[in-house]
Amino acid sequence: MSLDDAAEELASTLGVDKTEVKADLEKLVSYSVPMDEAKQSLRRKYGDAGSSSGQSGSPPKTEIDDITPESGNVSVTARVLTVGKRSIRYEGENQIIFEGELADESGRISYTAWNDFSLSPGDTITAGNAGVREWDGEPELNLGGSTTVTMQEEPLSVPYEIGGERDLIDLEPGDRGRTVDAKVLEVERRTINGRDGETEILSGEIGDETTRLPFTDWDPHSEIAAGASVRLADVYVDEFRGVPSVNVTEFTAVESIGDVEVNESATEMTVRAAVESGGVYDVLLTGSVIEVRDGSGLIQRCPECGRVVQNDQCRTHGQVDPEDDMRVKAILDDGTETVTVILGSDLTARVYGGSLEDALDHARDAMDRGVVAERIADALEGREFSVRGALSVDEYGANLNATAFDERADDPKALATAFLSEVDA
Ligand SMILES: [Zn+2]
């Protein structure tokens, strides 16, 4: 909330002149007094005893937009937007927690409830003495043993969607209590070593009209079968290799529904939009290859873990007898931003114009492994390509693992080359 808005609100609740209140507020804020405290001391100064004394020990009401990671404990009146139920491991015990978002007119905030306050989307509550902690740079509310939750009769109107129903394209890592309608495109049963020993899970891919996403079902549901359409009520979203991944749990209500249409094509985006979205599972980017990077062409991998090794040394497995492979790391630029496109061995063989064996022969004849990367660079640099694949964004940058890589047919340079070769013939 801006200083001006705060002054306006104070002036009207205290029945005093706004300019006077604003001058006082500005002074307090200039002394680095947090806005909430400043407002509180002005309430005391102008004698609004009701809200300043409050109930014993409960902090003053705070607007959500004013909460910062440094706010300490707060009391808020808010609408419950979403509720997700999850079991986590806490201090060696399985504990059930509830997570989602709360909102008032000023903003919204994530919460974690460590007790079952029987929250439902749409409820209006006053949470007294809620803790504030920082999560990923943002404040988050903790509703725990010392928090009082009171239901309010009058629903608070908020400028946000109530309930967790979303299209797959709108899911983001960190989302809780979401409900999606989707078709199961691929599913595989696997045994993993979970926190309670060996356990069976399902993993695969789901899709709707907007996009496709990977999923994991931690408590295999029989309704989740290839080709089936299902409503998944109360899923949470985390990140798997930099893209959103849907998690179905024992608390998810899984229901068979009528056939869900699936968008088979990738989402077309500019490189900038794709990178700013933080990761896209299936994206189509079009741009020019401006550089084929080091680490392209013939490479060697650890036979144990598949990591790229140099001088027969794996970072994890030490001295190894490496296996030959080939790949491309190319920088694609569409004028908005750049991304590193990674081609695996099959796509690399295609752009190189020969198999791994051919490439090894080529390098042996030239007595230089670099000739393979050089030929690839000649074939790619300066040309325009459409690339489809999974984009991940992390501390190493933006990487697109390509599933398809095609030269643009209407690329002027390609057309010119084709035309010239016709003229020459
Ligand atoms: Zn290794």
All domains of the chain, ordered by start, with CATH? 1-53 (no CATH), 56-163 (2.40.50.140), 168-256 (2.40.50.140), 267-420 (2.40.50.140)
The pLDDT score that the predictor gives to residue 53 is: 39
CA angle at residue 205 from 203 to 209, to 5 degrees? 150
- Residue tagged 């930099």 (tokens): 242
Ligand 1 centroid to 300 CA: how many Å? 11
Ligand 1 centroid to 405 CA: how many Å? 29
- Rounded Cα gap, residues 359 and 282, in angstroms: 30
The pLDDT score that the predictor gives to residue 348 is: 98
- Hey, which residues does 281 pair with through a beta bridge? none
Amino acid letter, residue 266: A
- Which residues line ion ligand 1, judged by CB < 5 Å? 302, 304-305, 314, 316-317
Ramachandran quadrant class, 110 (left: phi over 0; alpha: psi -120 to 50; beta: rest):
beta
Q: What are the pLDDT digits (tens) for 220-255?
A: 999 999 999 999 999 999 988 778 899 999 999 999
Ligand 1 centroid to 126 CA: how many Å? 54
CA 195 to chain centre: 24
CA angle at residue 156 from 152 to 159, to 5 degrees? 155
**263 phi and psi, to 5 degrees?**
-80, 110
Ligand 1 centroid to 376 CA: how many Å? 27
Which run of H or of E encompasses 391? strand 384-394
Largest alpha-carbon pair distance within the chain? 94
HEC-encoded secondary structure of 143-169: ECCCCEEEECCCCCCCCCCCCCECCHH
Q: What are the pLDDT digits (tens) for 138-174?
A: 999 999 989 999 999 999 999 999 999 999 988 988 8
Kindly give the parts of the chain with pLDDT less than 70.
1, 31, 44-60, 410-425
Ligand 1 centroid to 305 CA: how many Å? 4
**How would DSSP label each residue in 229-297?**
EEEEEEEEEEEETTEEEEEE-TT-EEEE-SPPP---SPEE--HHHHHHTTEEEEEEEEEEEEEEPTT-E
Ligand 1 centroid to 311 CA: how many Å? 13
CA distances from 349 to 292, 326, 361 (A): 15, 8, 14
CA distances from 197 to 88, 192, 200, 270 (A): 15, 8, 10, 44
Rg (CA), the chain: 28
Burial of 65 (0-12, 13-18, 19+ CB in 10 A): middle
Ligand 1 centroid to 310 CA: how many Å? 11
Closest by Cα among 363, 289, 300, 306 to 326: 300
Does the predicted model carry a pTM greater than 0.85? no
- Hey, which residues does 407 pair with through a beta bridge? 385
Contacts of 409 (CB under 8 A, 6+ apart): none
